[in-house]
Amino acid sequence: MTGVTIDMYILDVDEAEMSEYYEVISREWHRFYRGKMGVTLKVPIRSFEDFAVWYTPGVAEPCREIDRNPEQIFEYTNAGNSVAIVTDGSRVLGLGNIGKAGLPVMEGKALLFKYLGDVDAYPICLSTRDPDEIVQAVEWISPSFGGINLEDIDAPKSFRVFEDLIRKLEIPVFYDDYQGTSIVVLAGLLNALKLVGKKLDQIRVAVVGAGSAAIGSARLMIEAGVRAQSLIMVDSKGIIYEGRGNLDKYKAEMAKVTNRQGVRGGIQDALSGADVVVALSRPGPGVITEEMVSRMADRAIVFALANPMPEILPQDAKRAGAAIVATGRSDFPNQINNSLGFPAIFRGLLDVRARGINTGMMIAAAQEISRLAEEQGLREDYIIPTMMDPNLYPRVAAAIGKAAVDSGMARVRLNYESLRDSAERRISRYQRSLRLLEDEGFLPPPPSQV
């Protein structure tokens, strides 16, 4: 692999070869650092006497204050900036049911939380697959956190866990596969439609896949204005329609409102005449073919979001007539990835001490992501900001925080400007402090790349 660089736009590198390269580098770096996370202090220790303030006997006083008024836990502890990333490891990334072996993925999520949102996130892999036990475990640990992020739990169990926790907890419970994906999908779709000259309430949409991400995206698109009757979902057994067998509770709910024409068949039938396809199914390529895309409407939009390989490669979808193509990968244009949302979403939720998150808040976040890209100039290869855009996370944090205030879900009332300024300061300060540690040699550089 001599001469391979990280930039696939410069070199013509086979995708499988590049994936192998990333995996080799990742194994070396993870082993070198023994993971990505650690605990550090955010208070000064100047003398022995400081221990009497931060610990005993002085610490008794903030304890008494919290005992008198439980809301003071947000003033006297880090609970208000802490999020639990909870998984049972039953559906990890593209790896499947691997249990605690998914911890590197959860640490990766925690890294993104901190670097992009200055949110302290703690990866928690549970040694149970029982939904009642997962709910109980999260309920037990919830007093230490300002929010819960559910991650990589297989459906339909994940829906039950999510719904139960929403009912039980007075802090935001965010199901990233379900809600995070849907927010970023909607953001990209809003801008793609502007480029092709189509409107949300006039399009036909095919959703390939019927897991949590697909169902979440379908529901949010409908809430935002897509006509439910003009949306068709496809699972591994074919098109979903009312009365079809082999439907769990959540697919059956979708069958009642979508596909009112009663279309039957497979992926090719769902895509026929569709303006948009949002694919969140299994890795390709080949799940969606050029022939299927060629049967879509003119100026079609193709979101092929399976990882690590999209259901159809962008060049193939373009060759078949698609006007705009997005994937879940950073080495292709138009990356639709949850990381564009969740660090900022939790930054905003925590800053207003939100009790939860509702559909209006999710749409507000999607619109802000969409608006930022539009301000920078939309193109067919640029419908959504990139992860490294410094303006993205403060703006999304402010948008969702303001929406929480407007909807009555916030304990603290702050306006958009103050939320944005606060988020900018926090995120910038943390990123500068990390660079300072690197510059001073306290964070050693990673081992040489192979």
pLDDT below 70 — which residues of the chain? Answer: 1-16, 449-450
Q: Which of 316, 347, 290, 302 is nearest to 188 (CA)?
A: 302
Domain 78-171: which CATH number of 3.40.50.300, 3.40.50.10380, 3.40.50.920, 3.30.70.1400: 3.40.50.10380
Report the pLDDT value the prediction gives residue 377, as an integer from 0 to 100: 97
- How far, in Å, are 129, 179, 315 from residue 215 at the CA level? 22, 10, 27
Beta bridge partners of 231: 205
Report the pLDDT value the prediction gives residue 308, as an integer from 0 to 100: 85
Residues 350, 327 contacting (CB under 8 angstroms): no
CATH superfamily, with its number, for domain 175-450: NAD(P)-binding Rossmann-like Domain (3.40.50.720)
Report the pLDDT value the prediction gives residue 5, as an integer from 0 to 100: 37
Quick one: tokens of 141? 């640990």
Quick one: tokens of 445? 């550089």
**Span 395-413, pLDDT tens digits:** 999 999 999 999 999 999 9
What stretch of H or E contains 304?
strand 301-304
Residues 314, 288 contacting (CB under 8 angstroms): no
What is the C-alpha separation between 358 and 345, in angstroms, rounded?
Answer: 12
Report the pLDDT value the prediction gives residue 14, as an integer from 0 to 100: 60
Q: Report domain extents, the chain.
A: 1-34, 78-171, 175-450
Which amino acid is residue 308, in one-letter code? P
Report the pLDDT value the prediction gives residue 10, as an integer from 0 to 100: 34
Residue with tokens 């109980």: 136
Residues 5, 11 contacting (CB under 8 angstroms): yes
Report the pLDDT value the prediction gives residue 427, as an integer from 0 to 100: 97
Q: Which residues are catalytic?
A: 55, 109
Report the pLDDT value the prediction gives residue 224, as an integer from 0 to 100: 98
**Span 274-329, pLDDT tens digits:** 999 999 999 999 999 999 999 999 999 999 999 889 999 999 999 999 999 999 99
Same fold for the domain at 78-171 and the one at 175-450?
Answer: yes
In order, the DSSP letters of 48-66 are: TTHHHHHSTTTTHHHHHHH
**Span 348-364, pLDDT tens digits:** 999 999 999 999 999 99
Model pTM above 0.85: yes
